[in-house]
Structures are given as C-alpha cells and as structure tokens.
Structure 1
C-alpha cells in the first residue's frame, strides 16, 4: 500500500511525502528457534558514558539520571559539585566521593514546567533480550534457567578510569559465572565452563575490550603493555555498539565547549567534565591525523599537551569557567 501525505509549510506551499506502510517486525518469530536453546551463553549488557544513575550517599537522591524536583538539581552549584570527582591542583585524588552508581538508566525522568515525561535509554534493549527468552536476573535467589537463559546488566561509574571499571567487570563476571553454574545444575543441564556474550555500548565497549585484552591487571602505566587475552576465559562473544575504539572527537569537543543534552536540560560545563578521568581516555588516539587547516593541510596539534589547552584558553582555561 502506498499513500501520500500533503503538508503545508509556513509559507502556505504544499510539499509531498511519499510513504510506505510500515509493518512491525515480529521479534518473537525471529528468535523463536534460538529461544528454545537453554544451552546458550548468558548475556551481559553494559551501558555507555553517562548510562548509570549516580546517587548521593546518605540521601540516595539522584545526582545523575533524573531531572525532577525529587533529584538533586543539576543546574545548581551543589548538583555540579556532587557529580564532580575529587581533584586537587589538576591531579585526580583517587578517593571516594559522596556519590555512587546504583543501576543502569533504562529511562530518564524529566520534569518541565510541572509536567513529567520519560525518555527511553536502555529499556528497549532489555525488552528485546526478553523476547529472546533472556531473563534479567534481579534476585539471585530466584531460579530462571527453566524459563530461559540468564541476562545480567553490569553498571559502573562511567566518570572513572576504564581500567578500574574493567577490573570490576572481571570480578562481576567471576561472580555471575558461579551463579550460572548453580542455575544450570538446578535446571538439569550438564556442567560446563561458563562464558558470556557481552553487548556493550559506547564506553562500555572500551571497558569490556580492556578486560578481554588484559584481564584484571592494571597496565595503564606500562609503555607497551602486552595483550594477553586474559579476559577470554569469561568472554565468548563481544558485540561493540557505537564504541569509539580510536577515541572520539565528541569527547574533545565536550572538554572544550561542554556538553548539551537538549533545551530542557542543563549544560555540563568543561570544568565538571575535566574531573572525569574517563573523558581523557575517550579523546582521539594520537595515531589519528584529524586536524587540518582551511586548505586541508595537516596541522601539528598535541591535544595531550597541557600547554596547548592553556595557551589557547580552551576548556577549563577559558575565562568563563569557574574553579
């Protein structure tokens, strides 16, 4: 069936949109055969940058992940300070702050002019896995394997160092592997080595890739760390979704100009982003030749040099930025 929609522009001139009838895809029929296989690898879903809620210790108010009157106002000085990590004279202190990550953001709740609405983030991914008979494990005491395979959601503090989060992921997989072995025995399935299929979005892919390459060893201080594939003992398949394997110019732009999330949400200033170690790890790789002048000729710019930022008054060195 083909149909035409006539619209009128602000100038009173009609324009035409030719559209095909859209038929919804039946995910159930696509996954019908594989959903019957209880011997599949369990799945781990890993969110990306900004994908986990950050709560305030003591009050459990949402610092990041909701923008309502019940959450800490991100537009306020307190909200900005709560989300920032401890830094002193340009050095990351590596100490615990007054916030903690609690769970992945499936939906963001926003309140605007007294009206509340929600924006889907990762909920549809979880719903799709549910159609394939992957059941999200929320209570480890409830058996799931006779209804389908296990699915876990790994959340982490996306502000912090990628290696630190990869080490946490390794411990998480070790714990969940034991859980899956117990579930398989309960379901009458043969005992075997447990490996996970990981679906990782954005920065989450870098966390998973680090674990796959180096395991739970921190190699960031090594000049040429050896890739050992130590994480392969846990990982069967790794699906990277929008992962900046060679860095991202978006991270560079955000550290210079800040980040905007929409007209109804407050901006994140460069001074705040500069307190996140992960932002520097998301910068474009030094191996990339990405800078050009107005004639297309390569420019020698070292974005990893503090002098470059200070000399050009960029990011935290811009006069408009507050300490």
Structure 2
C-alpha cells in the first residue's frame, strides 16, 4: 500500500533506517540519475558535432539533409527496430542547455539541479574523476545518458550494462567484492525506462508480440526507485509532437514530424486508447490505419520533402512513403507490446525494492484532443490536473476505479511543472532524506 502526501516528509520508518545506517557507518547506496525524453545530448559519430542539446555555432541544422541522417533514426523495410543503427550517439545528460538568441549566448538549467543535489557532478559517465575532491567527499553518484529516441527496452539493456560497469568501478574504488545495490532517480520517460528495467531486466521486446517475461531482473541491482513526473499512462502531447514535430523556441529551431516520427520511443509515450484521448471518438491511436486515415505523422501527404531528406537513397516518393509506413507500423506494434507489458498489475514485488513517486498536479494539462484529417496541429478539448505536460492520473497510472496496478510505497504531490519538478527544492530535499544522503 502507498501513502499519499503533499509536501510531506518521508515516513518515520524510512528515516529511522537511513539514520541507523548512517550511525553504524554504512554508506548510502550509490545513486544514478536518469533524465527524460530529450534529456541527453546527441553528437555525430564522425566529428562529435552537436546534434541535440547545444545550439552553438556549428550545430546540425534540423532543416538540413545532414540532420535527417543524424537526428532522425534510419528506416528500412524488413529490418527490426533494434537493428537500425544511427549515425549519432549520446554524449552525457543535459545539465545545462546552451544556445543563443540574436547572437547573445544563453544558458538554461535542465537536469543540473537534480544532478548536483545527488552529487553527480563528481563523475562523468565513464567513471573518470572530474574534481580532485570527489573521492574524499564520498559522493558516489552517476548520470545515465541514453538514446531517448530508441525503444525503451533497448535503453534498459544499456542501463544494465552501465550498472555492471559502475559496480566494477565502485568495487575497485572500495577494494571490496561485495555486491552493490543502487538507488535510482528517474524523471519523465526515464521513469518508464527504469520501471521496464526493474520488471524485465535486459530483455528485448519479442518480435512476435508475446511480451517480455516478468522476472524482476533489474530489481536485483536497485533498492529504491524514485520516479518523477513519469507518463506511466502516456501523454497526449506526444501525439501532437508526432503530428507537428518539436516546435522551435528561443533556444533551438523546430524539428519536423518526420524526424520525430522515426523515434520508436515516441510511440511508447502515447496515451492509452482505453482512456479515450480523442474527443471525436476515434481512439485507435495505436493502429496504423488511424494515422493513415487522418493523414498525420510520418506518412502525411504534406511531408514529401521531409521524407526525401530522410530517405535520400530512394528515388521515388512512393518508395519513401512505403518505407515510412512500414516504420510506422513497426513502431506502433512495438508500442502496443510495451504498453501491455507495463500496464500489468504487479505482484510479488521483491521485498527489498521501494517504489516512490513524485507527481505534479497543480497545472492545467491537456487530456483530450480533437483533429480532422490533414490537420497539422491538434486542438486540446479538455484538461485535467497535472504538471502541464503529463496528467497526474497518468503519472499514478490510475484506472477507472482510481487505483493503480503499481504498488507504490509513497506518492508525493507537488505544485511544480514538468521540468520544474527536477529543480523543486522541496523534492530535492525530500529525495536526499529518502535516500539517506542528506548531509553527505
């Protein structure tokens, strides 16, 4: 059972255990911070040119042919999603976003506050000391940057490999072969990645649609999972991103819907059809025929030039459309299997594992949309409480009876917006207490 709190302290039982451990000389578990979608920098394989996260002179312009190969993922008929290889790679978590406006340099904090609070600035994700005082401070904390474009089961495999490397690093540092468990703090889509890893370990989603086997393979490595603002039941705004792309802002230019539509993870973030997100009544949003009939997304008729940039090796619009439709169908099938796996009631959670949830519920958040065939932007028709991006009910994975299939140990409601959650001083202080790291 979970306890529901608002701006409250962790339970007395949690604090007693962490304080007793501190008094007995037992160090707190090392921490890993996992960002959400768009939260890791991308650079080109060939020359480390910025693809996402640093919009400084020399970054890859999303309107160029080059960006189609670097920002968008490749597509190919007959090739499984996990075997499609990108020409760019991750290069760390976005602690600070850098850009410029009318020639004036700009810096905006993204995940810097939460990483700093957990002590992550002491290390890079290659486990190389970046500050001389890091070892003496005892700050054992890491960032996990992952390719947020790819299917989340692939990222779970990468997380497992990362934890193995971090474990070996810490064992050498401690001069001990004792097993190590981690506490993990995950925001937004990072929470979905973490939940998948806990439940299924490093399993790929089966191609046949049967679903992965619940084995709690990742839980063997984790004591406490702190999940912040995660769209456990999806977010309707992700559908709008797949329809119109990522809008531009003072920090970065717009990224078109064909680029975004190549990301398998984007479809995994879609809301559940059973929650009826479409106010017009057609809620088959995980069915390719829905997208084709509405002329939306990667196969939309108005995106001929974008598909040409994405698929320069094909000479005809018809061939490109065929490849795009194949990719759409693969991504939607993948999302259906992922949703089914993630929405199953959890039983027999390992005794040692704690699941703590932080939810924003004070902002007007899109809940339902309307849209007709050929629309290039959706219209929000209903709103609910949330963090402005994700409904509070989605974060909790509430169903019609107001219960959740996830046995949360605690749920804390906050007033911050989606990105504001990872900067919220109340949240950061509460998480530090929860993880036994206050004063470390």
Q: 1:318 aligns with which of 274, 294, 300?
A: 300
Contact between 1:67 and 1:74, CA under 8 Å: does it hold in 2? no
Looking at structure 1, the residues matched to 136 and 102 of structure 2 have their Cα atoms a distance apart, in angstroms, of 47
1:180 equivalent in structure 2: 170
Q: 1:62 aligns with which of 30, 44, 50?
A: 50
Name the count of aligned residue pairs. Answer: 279
Contact between 2:98 and 2:251, CA under 8 Å: does it hold in 1? no
Q: 2:186 aligns with which of 171, 186, 200?
A: 200
Consecutive unaligned residues in structure 1, runs of 5 or more: 1-32, 294-298
Question: How far has the Cα of 1:181 moved from its partner?
Answer: 2.3
More divergent stretch after superposition (35-44 vs 107-116): 35-44
2:110 equivalent in structure 1: 121
Query: Does 2:93 correspond to 1:104?
Result: yes
Question: How far has the Cα of 1:158 moved from its partner?
Answer: 0.8
1:216 equivalent in structure 2: 202
TM-score (norm 1): 0.78
Q: Which structure has greater strand proportion?
A: 1
Question: How far has the Cα of 1:92 moved from its partner?
Answer: 5.8
Counterparts in 2 of 1:236-315, with a 5 A limit? 236-263=223-250, 265-293=252-280, 299-315=281-297
Question: How far has the Cα of 1:291 moved from its partner?
Answer: 2.7
Q: Which structure has greater helix proportion?
A: 2
Question: How far has the Cα of 1:239 moved from its partner?
Answer: 0.8
| Aligned CA distance change for structure 1 residues 115 and 145 (closer, same or farther; 3 Å) | closer
| Aligned CA distance change for structure 1 residues 95 and 219 (closer, same or farther; 3 Å) | closer
Question: How far has the Cα of 1:260 moved from its partner?
Answer: 1.5
| Aligned CA distance change for structure 1 residues 141 and 67 (closer, same or farther; 3 Å) | closer
Question: Per-residue CA shift, 1:217-247, capped at 9, x if unaligned?
Answer: 2234443543221111101111111111111
1:136 equivalent in structure 2: 122
Query: Does 2:166 correspond to 1:166?
Result: no
Question: How far has the Cα of 1:301 moved from its partner?
Answer: 2.2
Counterparts in 2 of 1:71-82, with a 5 A limit? 71-82=59-70
More divergent stretch after superposition (222-231 vs 271-280): 222-231
Question: Per-residue CA shift, 1:244-296, capped at 9, x if unaligned?
Answer: 11111111111112222425532121111111111111111233233334xxx
Question: How far has the Cα of 1:304 moved from its partner?
Answer: 1.5
| Aligned CA distance change for structure 1 residues 135 and 70 (closer, same or farther; 3 Å) | closer
Question: How far has the Cα of 1:54 moved from its partner?
Answer: 0.9
Looking at structure 2, the residues matched to 83 and 239 of structure 1 have their Cα atoms a distance apart, in angstroms, of 30
Q: 2:30 aligns with which of 39, 42, 46?
A: 42
Question: How far has the Cα of 1:300 moved from its partner?
Answer: 3.9
Looking at structure 1, the residues matched to 171 and 230 of structure 2 have their Cα atoms a distance apart, in angstroms, of 30
Query: Does 2:215 correspond to 1:228?
Result: yes
Question: How far has the Cα of 1:81 moved from its partner?
Answer: 3.4
Contact between 2:236 and 2:277, CA under 8 Å: does it hold in 1? no
Looking at structure 1, the residues matched to 190 and 266 of structure 2 have their Cα atoms a distance apart, in angstroms, of 13
More divergent stretch after superposition (158-167 vs 312-321): 312-321
More divergent stretch after superposition (91-100 vs 43-52): 91-100
Contact between 2:204 and 2:212, CA under 8 Å: does it hold in 1? no
Looking at structure 2, the residues matched to 224 and 279 of structure 1 have their Cα atoms a distance apart, in angstroms, of 19
Contact between 2:184 and 2:224, CA under 8 Å: does it hold in 1? yes
SS of structure 2 residue aligned to 1:149: coil
1:296 equivalent in structure 2: none
Q: Bigger relative contact order, structure 1 or 2, given CA contacts below 8 A and separation 6+?
A: 2
Consecutive unaligned residues in structure 2, runs of 5 or more: 1-18, 308-440
| Aligned CA distance change for structure 1 residues 91 and 256 (closer, same or farther; 3 Å) | farther
1:14 equivalent in structure 2: none
CA RMSD of aligned residues (A): 2.6
Contact between 2:37 and 2:148, CA under 8 Å: does it hold in 1? yes
Contact between 2:181 and 2:220, CA under 8 Å: does it hold in 1? yes
Contact between 1:144 and 1:183, CA under 8 Å: does it hold in 2? no
Looking at structure 2, the residues matched to 90 and 256 of structure 1 have their Cα atoms a distance apart, in angstroms, of 25
